[in-house]
Structure 1
Amino acid sequence: DDYSTTIINLMPNDLGVSLISEPLIDDNQPNEEDVVVTIQNYGGTIHENFEVNFSVNGGTPITEVVPGPVGPLESMQYEFDAQAELNDIDDFEIFCFTSLPDDSQSDNDGVTKIIPKFICQPESNCSQGDGIRHLVLEEIDNMTGCGDDGYSAFLDQVASLEQGTTYDMTITTEHGSQYVRAWIDFNDSFSFTGIETVLSSTEIAPGEGPGVWTETLPIEIESDDDLGEHLMRVKTNRDGTVSGNACNGMDFGETEDYKVIIGSVSLLESILGPNDIEVRTLANDQFIFTLDTEVSNDPLIFRVMDTQGRTVVHNWVYPVNGEYTYELDMSYAAGGMYLIRIGDQRAGKITRIAVQ
C-alpha cells in the first residue's frame, strides 16, 4: 500500500518565551506584580537548568534559572521569584526572554507585553494610626481603618462641589504631626498635577504623637474649574510635607481616592440626567456604551483617552429616544486602561475600560 510521512527537521537548541500571562491588565494594578510566562521548546533537545529573564522599560534584566525539564516541542509555565516593580502612572513594557547558549534562532527568544497603570497607588504604613480615619466633605462621610499598603479607593462616595467656592474638609487621624494634601483631576488625565492641588500640604496636630486629632481644612474650587465628575485624591504623611508627586510612597501615611462632581448634582443632572454610563464588554475588545437621559436632545462628545491623557477617539454621539449609544472597536489599540467621557463643554460623565 502507498503511504506518506512528514519529516520535521528540528534545530537542536531553540528555546523561547512565547507568552506573558501575568501581570494581567487591570484597573487595580498594584505596585509590585508577579511575572508568569510560558516557555516553548521549539527544538529537538531536552533542556534543564536554563536561564530566563525579564526587564521593565529596558532596565537591568532579572535573571533566574528554570530547573525544567522541557522536552522537544513541549512548553512549560514558569513564575519568577522576583516581581516587576510598577511604581508610577505609566505604560510599563515588560520584556521576557530566554538566554540559551548557542540558541539556533534568536528572533523567537522573547515577547513583550505593555502593562498600564490607570492611577498610581502609593504605598505607606498606616498601621500606627497614621493616615485618615474619618473624612467628611459635603456628602462624603467616610470612617475607615488602615487600607492595604496604605491605599484605598472609595469611588462610590461622591461630593458635590460648586465652582468658585471654598469647602470645609474635616479629617480625623490617630497620629499627630500628620501633613495632608489634596488634588482633583479636573482634566481627567489619569494624573494629579500641581495646578490640580485643592489643598496645599498642611499639618494636623504639630509635634503630637498617637491620639485622636481632628482638623477642618479648606478645599478651594476655582470659578473656572472643569464641570463634571472627577477623581479626588487625599494623601497624608507623618513628620514631613506631602510631596507634590501624588504617586510617591511614604514611610508613614495613607492615600485615599474619592469622586467629586463640580457643579451641583442638579446642574449635572439638568445637563446629562441622573444615570451613569453603562458599559457592555464584548469579545475582541469591542464595547457598547449607553447613557440613558431624557433631559438632553443635543449631540454630545464621546471621547476616549489613554493613560498619558492623549485623546485616541473623539466623535459626536446623537440621542435616540433619549438614549446615547456608542459602539467602540478597540481591537487595534494597545492593551491598557482607557478613560471614557461622554458630555459637552459644560459637563461630562466618566467611566473606564480595560483593553486586553
Structure 2
Amino acid sequence: AAEHAGIRWYELRQQTDGGPWSVYQEGTYAPDNSDRFSGSIGLDAEGNIALGYTVLNDNPQNPVFPSLRYTGRYLNDEPGIMTIEEQNIIEGESPNPNSRYGDYAHLSVDAADGLTFWHNGEYFVGQERKNHVGVFKIAPDFDNNLGVVSLVSPQDASLGTNEEITIKIRNYGRNAQSNFEVSYSINGGAEVTETFEESIAATSSAEFTFSETADLSEVGETYEFLFSTNLEGDENRENDTITTSVRHLPPNDVGVTSIDAPQTGESLGNSEEITVSIENFGGEPQQDIPVFYQVGNNTPVREVFNDTLEVGGLEVYTFNQTADISPSGSYRITAGTRLENDFDARNDTSVRSVANLDCIPEGSDCSFGDGISFFELEDVLNERIPCGNGYADFIGLSATLDRSQGEFTVSVQSHFAEEDKEQFSMWIDFNDDAVFDDDERVISSEVIPNANTWYSYNFSIPADASLGQHLLRIRAGDTSFDGDLNNPCEVMDYGTTHDYSVNITDSTLDIEDFILNEAELVVVSEENKQFRVIMETDYEETLRITVHNILGQKMLENQVENNGTGYVYELDMSYAARGVYLVRMGTREVGKVKRFIVE
C-alpha cells in the first residue's frame, strides 16, 4: 500500500506554574487519502484548538496541488478528535517544481484578542513559490447560533423500511439552547419536523434521533437528505442546514480498485508478485471472494481471498501464483473479482499497464523547473507534472496515432528555459523491445524557447509502422550541463524523462485488412473442456463468434467486444461430445476459422 501522510497532534497541560507537563489529549488527523503535513497548531484564549497544514494528492485522475487548509476543535468536544470540518485557506494551482518546501509555515494566535488565528504557508502558481496568510476564528461570533453538523446514522449500508434518523447538532453560539425545532426531508419530499427538548451548552454538540423513521429499502437507491434547525433569534442562518446523501447498498458488491504491484521497472523477472486492493462496495461482509488476474490475453490466474472483508473495507491481497514478465516490453494487467450474485459488474475489475524496460534514468534534478511540466499528444493531456526524481511512468496514458495521417503534433511546456539550453527529444519503440533506438527517435533536440509557454512540434512515423500499442519516451533538460539528451538511458544533471504509450491505427484499412491480414486466431485449451479463443487485432467494432461441429451444425453464436488488446472469448465445451470442432471469429462477411479438439 502507498504511504499516507497524516498529522499527529498533542495538547499538553501544566496543572500548576512550574509543575510538570503532561499529555492531556492526542490524535491523528488524516480524514481521507490525501496527504497532510507541515502542520502548525495553536490554542486560543477560550481553549479552542486550530490546526493549519498543507494538503496534497498526486492521484493523476484527481490531483490536489500543495494547498493550505485548517481544521480545529472546541474546548468541550470529545477528546482526541478534530471536529471542525476542514476549511480551505487557499488552493494551489501547480505542483512543487523543486525539492524544497515548508520553510515558513506557522500558525499563531493574535495577541490583540487571543481568539483570531493567523496561519502562513506556501503554495505554487506555475514555477512561482507564493506565501499566503489565512486569518480565521473558531470562537463564537454570536450569542445564538445553531446548526446541523452531520448525519450520524444511517450510513451507506443495506437499509430497511424503518430506519432511525440520527443527526449531530452543534451550538456555535455563546448561549445554551433548548426547545428548538429540527427537521428533515428526503429527495425533496414532505418535511418531518420535531422538537429538541434537551439543552446544548455553548460551543458543544449533541445527537438527536427523530421519532419518525424513514423507508430506505430500495436497493441501489441514493437518498438525498436536507436537515435543518429552526432556532428563534438565530443570528447566523448560513449554517442552519446541511445536505447529505445515503445509499442503500446491495448486499453483494465487491471489486478490485487498484493493481498495486508490479510497477514499471528494469529487469523485471519471471516470478513477479501481483498485488491488488479489494474493496467491499456492498452492505454485507464478504468472505471467500473469487479473485483473478490476467497478463495480456494469457490464461487468467484464479484464486480465493479467504479473509473477511467488512462493509466499506479495503484489503490488500497478493496472489500466490506469480507472473512472468521477464521479456522486455509493455504488459496490460487486468485483475478483478468474480463474486456470485455481484450487484454491479462495472466495479469488479481494474487494469494497469506496466513495462519491463531496458533502462530507467532516475536521478535527474528537476528542482529548478527543468524538464517537461506539460505534455499533450492527440487525445492525451498531462498537465502540471510533478518533479519527483526526474523519471515518471505514464504508460497508462495512451495517445492514438493514425499512421495514414503521416504527421502529428506534440505540445510541451517547461518551467525552465534559458538561452536555447532547454531542449527535448522523443522516441517511439516501434519494434517493442523496450529499447529506444536511435532510428526510433522521432524528435531530436528541439529547443523550448521560453518557460511556462506551450510550444508545438511536428513529427512523423513510418507509413508501415506496426499497428498496436507501443512505448513512447520523452526527455527534456538543460543541455549545457552533463548528460546526453539523445541517450535515452543517461541521467541528466537537470531534466526529466517520462514514458507514455501510443496506439498506432490505420483508418485506410478495411475490415478484410484487419481480420484477414493483421489478425491471428488462437484457441487455447484449458482444463475441463474449457477453451479461450483469442484474436489480437486493432479492429474495434463488435465481432461474432460461432462454433460448428464437423457435420456443420451450429453449436454456439455470440457477440465479442475488443477488451483493449484484442477479442477474447471464454468457451465452455463441457456439454460437447469428444471430437473435432470449428470456431470462427469475424463479421458475417469475413472472418478467420480455427480447428480445435474436445477430448
State whether TM-score is above 0.5. no
Query: Which of the pair has more CA radius of gyration?
Result: 2
Greater relative contact order (CA < 8 Å, ≥ 6 in sequence):
1
* TM-score, length of structure 2 as denominator length: 0.27
TM-score, normalisation: structure 1: 0.43
